[in-house]
Structure 1
Amino acid sequence: MWRLILENFRQLIAASVERYGNRTAFTLKEGKGRYRDISYNRFGEDVRCLGQALLSRGYQNQPVAIIGKNSYQWVLVNAAVQVAGGISVPLDKELKYDEFLECLIRSEVKAVFYDKKEKENVEKAVASGLTKVEEAFPLFGITGDKKEETIFDLTGYGSALLGNGETGIDDVEIDGNRTSVLLFTSGTTSQSKIVMLSQKNIVSNVDSVMLLNIIREDDTNIALLPYHHTFGGTGQWVMLAAGARTVYCDGLKHIQSNFREYGVSVFVGVPLIVETLYKRIKKTVESKKMSGRVMALRLMTRGLDKAGIDVRRKVFSGIQDALGGHMRMVVLGAAAADPECIKALNDFGITCIQGYGLTETSPILSAERPDHLRSGSVGLPLPGIEMKIDMPDDNGVGEILAKGNNIMAGYYGNKEATDQVLEDGWFHTGDLGRRDKDGYFYITGRKKNVIVLRNGKNVFPEELEQEVSQLPYVLENIVLGVPDGGDERDPVVTLKLVYNPDSFPGKTSEEIYDLVKNDVEKINDTTPPYKRIRKIMVTDEPMIKTSTGKVRRFMELQKITEENA
C-alpha cells in the first residue's frame, strides 16, 4: 500500500507513471481477437500531448463537456482537461436533446468531446446559437463528407507543439481547491443541481480509498459504471492510482463473456448488476436441483473460514468459472443491495464491499472493510472523513452529516441550495441512517422519500422494498405515498412491482395480480399496521430510471398520481 498525499491530478498521474511505467493501464479491443495495450507511460504521454493542445486552444479555466460511452478516450480527455487547468463537465449519454442543450447552456461549456452517437445532437446544439460552444471534437474517428478534427488529430497536434518546444503544459499552475469538475445531479435537468468539485476533493477521496488497500496492481477492472457518474469517475482514478488494468464491456448482455475474456478480477458497480448475475446463478442452481447442497456447502465453508481456513473459491469453482474464474472483489454503491445476494457472493469467495456516498462528496463517504463485513451496513467512514447522525430519534435514526476534504464547494450558481446543505463545514446528505455501537453506519432511507401518514407516523419505503425484492419473480419495485383522492396530506402506501414474465408462464394478468397480492399480504402480516402496503400495482413494463439504474421516484409518483386522477 502507498499513499498519495497529493492535491491534483497532474501529481496523481505523474506518481502512477513513475511507479507503474510500462505496466498495462488499459486494454482496448480493436476487433475480433485483436487488442491494444496502453501502458501507464503511454497514458501519461497522451495526457501531456492532448493537454498541450487544449492549452494552446485557450481552454485553461474553461468548461469542456464530455459525453459518450466509457472508453480510453473519455478518460484521456478528462485527464487532459484537468492537467491543462480546465473544467470537466461529464454528461450522461442518455440525455435527450433538450436536456443536453440545457446542460450546455447552464454550465457555459466552450468545447464538447462527443461519441459518434451524439453527433447529431452536438451539431444541432452548436447550430442553435444558444450555447457558448466554440469547438466540438469526436472521441472516435467519424467518416463523413468532410474530415473532422478528432481527439486523435488534437493529440497529434499537441505532440507536434511539444516537439517544437511549446511546453506550457508543464508549467500550468494547478490550484487544487479551484472548481475543476461540474456534475449534474440526477433528476429532471431543470431541477438538477450542478455540483462543483475541485481536484483536491476527488484526489483526497482517492487517497482515502487507497488506504483501504482493496485494489491491487495485478487487478483487472472492467469499467461498468458510467464515467459521468462520480462513483464511476472517481473509481477510475482509484484504478490508475493503484496500478490496475482497465478494460471495457461490450454491453451488459456480454458481461459474463467479457469477465472471462479479460480475466476480470474487480469492478465498481451498482447492486442491479450483481443482483442480476446472482439471479442467473441461482436459477442455474435451482434448475439442477442443487439448492440444498449449495446451502450446506455455504454453511460448511463459513465455519471453516471462521477457523482461518478459506476454501470458498475451491469449493465453488463452478460458480467462479461462470464469472470468468478470476473475480475476487466487487465494490458497490449508489443504491442499497439485496443482503441475500451479498451474503451468497461472499460465501462463493467474491468479496462484496458496500460503500456509501453522494456526488457532493466526491463521492465515497464510507465503506465496509474486507475483513469486517456487516450485512446491511455501508461500513465505517473512510480515513480522513467524519460522519455523524444529526438529531437522532428514539431508534437512533437521524440525518447523516459528513465533513472532510472531499466535500464539494457548493452548487454552481445556486447559493440558496448550497446554504441549505452546508453548515459549519458539515454536509447534510439528506439521507437517514443510524450508527451501531462499533461505528458502522446503516442507511434507512432518504428524508425526501419518507412517507408521512396523516396520523404522523413515518414509513420508510426502502424497508418495504427490501422485503418485496426477496420475492423470486420481482425485477424491481418501488413503494410510494400516493395521495388519496388527490389529497397530499393523506398518502396511501402504494407498491408498484415489475415482475419477470418468465416466472408466470400461461398466467393471465388477473392470476398474476392475485399471486402477488397473496405474497404482499404475507409481508403485511409481519409489518406494523401503519406500515402495511395498501395498494398494489403490477406490471411487466420497466420503470423510469437513471442511466445508473436508479428508479426516478418523483417521476414514477407523478405518473401514478396522473393515472389515478
Structure 2
Amino acid sequence: MSKNLTIQEKLIKKYHKCEKVTNLKQLLYRSSDIYGSRIAFKLKNDKGEIYPVSYKEFKQDIVQLGTYLIELGFLGKRIAVIGKNSYQWAVSYFASTIVGIVVPLDKELHDDDVINFLNISESVCVLGDTKNLKGILEKKSNLTNQDICMISLDLEKKSNFAKFDSLEHSEVYYINDCISKGKEFLIQGNTDFDAIEIDPDEMRILLFTSGTTGNAKGVCLSHRNVCSNITSIYGIVKVKRSDLFFSILPLHHTYECTIGFLLPLYSGASICYCDGLRYILKNIGEYHPSVILCVPLLLENMHKNIIKNMNKTLPKKYVKSPNENPYDNLPGLIKHVVKSKVKNTLGGRLRVFIVGAASVNPSIAADFETECSPLVAGNNDFYHKDDSCGLPIPNVTYKIDSPNENGDGEILVKGPNVMLGYYNMPDETAKVLKDGWFHTGDIGRIDEQGFLYITGRCKSVIVTKNGKNIYPEEVEYYLNDNPLVSESLVLGIQKDDDDETYINAQILPNIEAITEYLKGAVPTKDEIKKIMSDIVASVNNKLPNYKHIKGFIIRDKEFEKTTTQKIKRYGDNTKIDNNDDK
C-alpha cells in the first residue's frame, strides 16, 4: 500500500524541468545560443516607438562593453552600476559581474550615501545615469579613489559635464562609445572576455541594503546564489517564451533583478520597462505584458483604481459604495463584460502577477484571480493559498525558530540562495548565519501543510509592559483593508508619565474615496476625523484588547518609502507629536 504523500512531496514530483546554470556568464551564453534571434527586450526610442533587441544582440553588447572594461584594467575589480531601469543598466550589470564584482546602487540614494558606498566597496568604475554621475562629481573630493572611471548610461551626448572640467580625472565616457571601442578590440582578435572563468561560489555581487529599518549593510552574493534562485523559481512558476515581463520595481533590488530580469532571460521571454510609477497603466496599454512583478502596495493601488473605475461605469443599481467591489453582485452577462474590460485595462495579455517582498491582502488576491488572471504571491503553479507566501522553492528549506503558542517565530532559511555574508562585518554575519541557517528577521508561521505565512518583522515588533508581542503589520492590514484609508503606519509609543507602551496609528486618508463616500462633498477636517475614528473603532473590534489602537494621527502627505514602495519604519515617518494624538 503506497503512503499518502504530503503536498510538498507532491510538489517535488510536479516541478517544471530546467537546465541548471551556476554562473551568469553561462546563463548569458546559453540563452544567446538557444534563443538567438528571439526578442530579449522591447524598448522605446526618443519618438516613443517600440523596437526589439534580440538575445544575440544583447550578448554582443555585453561582450563588447566587458572587453573594454578589461582593457581599462577592471578585471576582478568592483564596478558600480546606478540608474533607472533600462537596457543600458542591464548590459552594464552583466558586463560588470562577469568582468569583476558588480555593485548595484539605488538611484534614489543621497549623493553622500552614494559616495560612502563607492568608498566602502572600493569601486574603480561607476556606470550611471547622468543625474547620478553629476551628483558624484559634485562630491568628488570625498571619494577615496579620485581616479574612479565614470561611464554615462545616456545614449546621446546631450549631457553637459563642462562645469566639472576643472576637476582632475573628471572625464565622463559614454556607454555606446565604450561598446564601440570594445567591438574594435574584438575585431583585432581580443578574446579576454571569452576567456574569463568564474568561480560560482566567490563574491561577484555586492549590494547595499537598508531595508525599512535603517543601518545599511553590504550583502555579499555569489553567482551560484543568484542562479540557484533562478532555476528554483523556474521549477515552480512556468515562464513561457512568449511571455513579456513588465519591469516596474528598481533593478538594483535583488527581487526585481532576479525574477524580473534574470529569470525571463534564462527562460527565453522578453522584458519591457516602465517609464515611471505614474505611467504604469499607460505603459501596460502600450506593451501588453503577460507577467507583472510587483509588491503588495502597487497591487493594492491598482486594485483600488480598477474598483473605482468599475463603479463609475456600472449602472447605479449595482453599486453599493463607490469603493466597494461590486463584482460578486453582478448578473452573469455583466460579469463577463466587466471581466473583459478589466483584462483590457491590464493590457489584454496579462496571465500572472508575481507579488513578493511582503504579504498580500488575500481578498485582493482573490479579486484578481476572479476578475483578471492568476496571481502568484510566492506561491507556485500547482498549490497555493491566497493568504500564504507559499511552499518552499526547490532546494530551499525553512523552519520557525522558538515558536510561541500561536506558532509564530523567526523564519530561518537554508539553501544555495543564502548570501555569503555581510561585507567586512563578521560579527553581524555571525548573528544571522548560524549552523547554515539564515535568520531572516521576519516573523511567521508554517501551517500543517507546510505553507509559510509572514506576520511581521522582529525589529518592528511592539512589546507591551506585560510581555505581549504586537506585530504592527497585522494592525496595518486591517486599517489598509478599508478603501477610505490610503496607507497607515502603526507604532508603539510611551507617554511621558507612563511606562506602558501604547499602540498609535498614523493614517493617510483616501480623500478622493471619502469625497465619493460623502456623495461628492469635499470632506471637512471634522468629517475626516469622524470617519477615521469610526474605522479605528471597527478595527479594534476585530482585535484583542492589548492590540487596540489607543490613539491616531491623521496625515496630510504620503509616508516616505523605500524604492520598493515599502513604508520606512524609521526617520521622519516615526516622529510623532503626542499633542496631535487623536
Do they superpose with TM above 0.5? Answer: yes
* Closer, same or farther: CA 138–2 of 1 in aligned 2, 3 Å: farther
SS at match of 1:560: coil
Q: Is the 8 A contact 2:455 2:473 kept in 1?
A: yes
Query: Does the residue aligned with 1:374 lie in a helix, a strand or coil?
Result: coil
Q: What residue in structure 1 maps to residue 483 of structure 2?
A: 472
Which residue identity is paired with 2:505?
L
Q: 1:486 to 1:40 in 2, by over 3 A?
A: farther
Superimposed CA distance per residue, residues 158-195 of structure 1 (whole angstroms, 9 cap, x where no aligned partner):
11111101111111121111111111112599821110
Contact 2:78–2:121 under 8 Å retained in 1: yes
- Structure 1 Cα separation of the partners of residues 497 and 94 of structure 2: 50
Which range moves more in the overlay, 391-400 or 502-511?
502-511
Q: Deviations over 1:9-29 (max 9, x none)?
A: 011111111111100001110
Q: 2:119 maps to what in 1?
A: 105
Equivalent residues of 1:142, 1:148 under 8 A apart: no
1:197 Cα offset (Å): 0.4
* Structure 2 residue corresponding to 1:17, chosen from 15, 32, 37: 32
Residue matched to 1:295: 328
In structure 2, the partner of 1:494 is: 504
Instruction: Determine which of 308, 313, 321 is the counterpart of 1:283.
Output: 308
Q: Contact 2:275–2:283 (CA<8 Å) still a contact in 1?
A: yes
SS of 2:57 mapped into structure 1: helix
Give, as a single letter, the amino acid of the residue that structure 1 aligns with 2:502. V
**CA distance 1:391–1:313, change in 2 (3 Å):** farther
> Matched residues, percent identical?
36
Report what 1:365 is aligned to: none
Matches within 5 A, 1:68-79: 68-79=83-94
Letter of the structure 1 residue corresponding to residue 235 of structure 2: L
Amino acid at match of 2:278: K
Confirm whether residue 42 of structure 1 aligns to residue 65 of structure 2.
no
Displacement of 1:563 after TM fit? Answer: 7.8
CA contact (8 A) 1:116 1:142 kept: no
Contact 1:499–1:539 (CA under 8 A) maintained in structure 2: yes
Deviations for 1:66-103, whole angstroms, at most 9, x for unmatched residues? Answer: 1110000001000011222x111111111111121111
| Distance of 1:151 and 1:313 partners within structure 2 | 49
Alignment partner, residue 201 of structure 2:
177
- Residues 519 and 190 of structure 1: is their aligned pair in 2 closer, same or farther, counting only changes over 3 Å? closer
Residue number among 223, 246, 251 corresponding to 2:247 in the alignment: 223
In the TM superposition, residue 286 of structure 1 has moved relative to its aligned partner by 2.1
Partners of 1:259 and 1:415 in 2: CA distance: 45
> Which amino acid letter does the alignment assign opposite residue 548 of structure 1?
T
1:327 aligns with 2:350: yes
What does 1:191-270 align with in structure 2 at a 5 Å threshold?
A: 191-235=215-259, 236-270=261-295
Q: CA deviation at 1:254?
A: 1.9
Q: Equivalent residues in 2 for 1:541-552 (5 A)?
A: 541-552=557-568
Look up the equivalent residue of 1:112 and give its one-letter code: V
Counterpart check, 1:142 vs 2:157? yes
C-alpha contact 2:24 2:94 (8 A) present in aligned 1: yes
Q: Is the 8 A contact 1:83 1:172 kept in 2?
A: yes
Paired position in structure 2 for 1:442? 453
For 2:3, the equivalent position in structure 1 comes to: none
Alpha carbons 1:313, 1:320 under 8 Å: kept: no
Q: What one-letter code is carried by the residue in structure 1 that aligns with 2:247?
A: A
The equivalent position to 2:523 in structure 1, one of 486, 507, 525, is 507
Local SS of the residue matching 2:22: coil
8 A contact 1:402–1:428 mirrored in 2 = yes
Inter-CA distance 473–315: structure 2 relative to 1 (3 Å threshold): closer
Q: 2 CA distance for matches of 1:20 and 1:388?
A: 39
Deviations 1:204-241 (A, max 9, x none): 10010111143211011111110011101112100101
CA RMSD between the two structures: 2.3
Q: CA deviation at 1:394?
A: 1.4
What amino acid sits opposite 1:111 in the alignment? C
SS at match of 1:203: helix
Q: CA deviation at 1:349?
A: 3.5
**Residues 314 and 51 of structure 1: is their aligned pair in 2 closer, same or farther, counting only changes over 3 Å?**
farther
1:393 to 404, 408, 421: 404
Deviation at 1:562, TM superposition (A): 8.8
Q: Structure 2 regions of 5+ residues with no counterpart?
A: 1-15, 166-170, 321-325, 516-520
User: Which segments of 5 or more consecutive residues in structure 1 lack a partner in the other structure?
Assistant: 302-310, 356-367
Matches of 2:32 and 2:507, distance apart in 1? 49
1:166 has 2:180 as partner: no
1:109–1:133 CA contact under 8 A, matched in 2 = no
Q: Within 2, Cα distance between the matches of 1:227 and 1:252?
A: 14
Residue 569 of structure 2 corresponds to residue 553 of structure 1 = yes
Q: Is the 8 A contact 1:47 1:77 kept in 2?
A: yes
Instruction: Please state whether the residue corresponding to 1:216 is helix, strand or coil.
Output: coil
8 Å contact kept, 2:246–2:272: yes
- TM-aligned CA distance change 1:47 to 1:493, over 3 Å: same
Determine the structure 2 residue equivalent to 1:27. 42
1:371-421 deviations in Å (ceiling 9; x for gaps): 423121000000010111111111111111000110001000111110000
Q: Is the 8 A contact 2:149 2:172 kept in 1?
A: no
The 1:530–1:106 alpha-carbon spacing in structure 2 relative to 1, beyond 3 Å, is: same
CA offset at residue 334 of structure 1?
Answer: 1.3
> Cα deviation per residue 1:320-339 (whole Å; 9 max; x = unaligned)?
01111111111011122222
Does 2:144 correspond to 1:130? Answer: yes
Q: How far apart are 1:281 and its partner, in Å?
A: 0.9
Tell me the distance in 1 between the aligned counterparts of 2:237 and 2:523: 51
CA contact (8 A) 1:225 1:232 kept: yes
Structure 1 residues 421-436: aligned runs within 5 Å: 421-436=432-447
- 1:65 corresponds to which residue? 80
Structure 1 residue 460 corresponds to structure 2 residue 471? yes
Pick which of 189-198 and 339-348 moved more: 189-198
Using the TM superposition, name which of 186-195 and 334-343 deviates more: 186-195
Give runs of aligned pairs for residues 347-386 of structure 1, distance below 5 A.
347-355=370-378, 368-386=379-397
1:30 Cα offset (Å): 0.3
From the superposition, tell whether residues 242 and 172 of structure 1 become closer, same or farther in structure 2 (CA, over 3 Å): same
Contact persistence 2:213–2:568 (CA under 8 A): no
Q: Deviations over 1:423-451 (max 9, x none)?
A: 01100011111111110000111111111
Aligned residue pairs total 541
* Paired position in structure 2 for 1:271: 296
Task: Tell me if the contact between 1:62 and 1:109 (Cα under 8 Å) persists in the aligned partners.
Answer: yes
How far the C-alpha of 1:198 sits from its partner, in A, is 0.5
Q: Say if 2:228 and 2:417, in contact at 8 Å, map to a contact too.
A: yes
Change (3 A) 1:390 1:48: same
Q: How has the CA–CA distance of structure 1 residues 189 and 523 changed in structure 2, closer, same or farther, with 3 Å as cutoff?
A: closer
